[in-house]
Amino acid sequence: MKYQKIPEATIRRLSRYSRCLEEMEESGEEVVSSAQLASRCMVNAAQVRKDLAYFGEFGIRGVGYHVKNLLNDIKRILGSNKEWRMAVIGVGNLGSALLSYKDFLKQNYKIVASFDIDPPKVIGRVSEKLGKPVEIFHVNRLKEIAKERKIEIGLITTPPSEAQSVADLLVEAGVRGILNFAPTQIVVPEGFVVKDVFFTTILDNLAYLLSNN
């Protein structure tokens, strides 16, 4: 189902609500009010109701939300109720760390392949050192492997100078979602989605807040 244009801040909060609801479900809580959910997620109750209202009506007036049902609804809205198959391109320090990140699987994100241009790493086998059964292929096999393993999201962890060429390969392979960790802007055609994760930008924002608080 396609929704109207939703503010990105709302999508970020929905992800936070999802995490809080998962914790509530794990602890056996069955019903939660908007005020309780807001308190857990460090927002206000009106914001919770406004965010959910973009997508329809949820909960029962005077009762609240059934935790399991609301969690399922939010996961359906976010698309996190299905498995997303991902690949890491660039098996350096950051790429290796992402390959070892266990919470991906918990959230239905599965790394099914990784790619690099460094011959010692590219041996087409299961990498025991990385602690997960993820094969490392030469980047020139990206198109082939992406099709074979139905990869939908690419995580770029290369040096900045290589990021655009890797993005171009992902586009050629039909991988529509790209999470770019390389500290440079990349350009993709319409129909493809790029999200940048620039650690220095986040640190600049934190430094600004510390300096002006």
**Using one digit for the tens of pLDDT, what is the confidence trace for 5-14?**
889 999 999 9
177 and 118 in a common domain:
yes
pLDDT tens for each residue of 129-183:
445 578 899 999 999 999 999 999 999 999 999 999 999 999 999 999 999 999 9
pLDDT number for residue 131? 52
The CATH number covering residue 38 comes to 1.10.10.10
Full residue range of the structural domain in which residue 52 is found: 8-78
188 and 90 in a common domain:
yes
Question: Does residue 2 form part of some domain?
Answer: no
Diameter over CA atoms, the chain? 63
149 and 113 in a common domain:
yes
> Hey, what long-range contacts does 18-24 have (CB within 8 A, 24 or more apart)?
18/71, 18/74, 18/75, 18/78, 18/80, 21/67, 21/70, 21/71, 21/74, 22/71, 24/67
The CATH number covering residue 193 comes to 3.40.50.720
pLDDT number for residue 119? 65
Query: What is the rounded average pLDDT for all residues in the chain?
Result: 90
38 and 64 in a common domain:
yes
pLDDT number for residue 128? 47
Per-residue pLDDT, averaged over 14-38, amounts to 95
- Least confident among 72-76, 119-123, 149-153: 119-123
Asked whether the beta carbons of 71 and 22 are under 8 A apart, the reply is yes
The pTM assigned to this predicted structure is 0.83
